[in-house]
Amino acid sequence: MILDCHSHIASHRILPPQFFKGWSKTVKSSLPFKLDAAQEERIDDLLYELNEDPDCVKMLREMNQAGIDKTVLLVIDFGLAYSDLGVTIEEIHLAHKKLIDRSDRFVAFSNVDPRRGKEGLDLFEKAVREWGFCGMKLYAPCGYAPNDKALFPFYEICSQLHLPVLTHVGPTTSTLSFRNTQPWDVDDAAFQFPAVNFILGHAGVMHYEQAGLLAQYRPNVYLDLSGFQVAVNRHEFNKIMVWHISQGLTKKLLFGTDWPIYRFWGSQMTWVETLKRLRQEGTISTEDFNAIMGDNLLGILPAMERKLVNYGT
């Protein structure tokens, strides 16, 4: 079974233009050649095009081609970090609910900025108790820390319902702060809530040595590999995977793609094939491959009801 632990609905309502604006600036500044104004505009066009699949039909098509059985859709609450989004956090949750109600190929993790107070906590509780959301996402670049006490009531609910928490690690779009995105920023929460499994987003490849140490010593810390596409492009991915294996971390790694962010560099099939190649080359065993591609995540997701399977096909 192949499970993608990290994806987003590709929609300008869900991943707002402010997010893409900063990301586009970062991409353009990282290019090793000079761009003229028309080329800068063309890059903006292409990056915006990544974000045009609001009903996840393209994603499902690529999941089918790649053999991905199920994908975790992560809500991000940008509402307090960016102004004028034109959509409420409840509407964003309902857009995710619509998809998980239609298809058992999707599950969703809720995210409500803890600074929204009781109203935010109530929305989170409704999402996980009534709407079928089966985990929590945290996006510290929006301006809060994973160990913020305001999150503890959320963690209590996660503990009670056996819901995992996926928190972003590492830099992101240049229009948000990178503070509180180190692996160890999660340690207080992981220590205080040992019954909650924490997935460090991107930490399988971003700050992976620090994150790996945390995952070795905290039974409830896991590492998401999404973002590995950058390591593949830099020819560093095999080396990183060999390091994880040497540290005995294969039961802590989770396959993820971060759709739609890396669509530019390959299809979902490209990314599954990259992992399959590691198995074919003997870098990872079949048992470890199965663990990374799905079994590890399956072990920390709550049991879920099956729903309709034919949406988007």
Partner 1 sequence: MEPNDVVREIVARVATKGIPSSAISGEMSLSNDLGIDSLQFIRVILELESKLARKIFSVELIAKIKTFADLCAAVAAQDRAYA
Binding residues for partner 1, rule: CB under 8 A, are 30-33, 35-36, 38-39, 42-43, 46, 49-50, 58, 233-234, 263-267, 270
Token code pair at residue 155: 């963690």
Q: Of 181 and 229, which CB lies nearer to partner 1 in the complex structure?
A: 229
- Tell me which DSSP letter residue 281 carries: T
Of the pair 135, 256, the CB lying nearest partner 1 is at 256
Nearer to partner 1, 25 or 307 (CB): 25
27 by Cβ neighbours in 10 Å (0-12 / 13-18 / 19+) ranks as middle
Q: Which of 9, 3, 198 is nearest to 97 (CA)?
A: 9
For residue 93, the SS3 value is helix
Residue 54 to residue 168: CA distance in whole angstroms: 22
Phi-psi region of 258 (alpha: psi -120 to 50; beta: other; left: phi over 0): left
Closest distance to partner 1 from the beta carbon of 233 (Å): 4
Q: Which of residues 19 and 155 has its CB atom nearest to partner 1 in the complex?
A: 19
Query: Are 20 and 79 contacting, i.e. CB atoms less than 8 angstroms apart?
Result: no
What is the smallest separation between the CB atom of 206 and partner 1, expressed in angstroms? 17
What is the closest distance, in whole angstroms, from the C-beta atom of residue 211 to partner 1 in the complex? Answer: 24
Residue 308 CB, nearest approach to partner 1 (Å): 26
Instruction: Find the shortest distance in angstroms from Cβ 33 to partner 1.
Output: 5
- The smaller minimum CB distance to partner 1, of residues 7 and 167, is found at 7
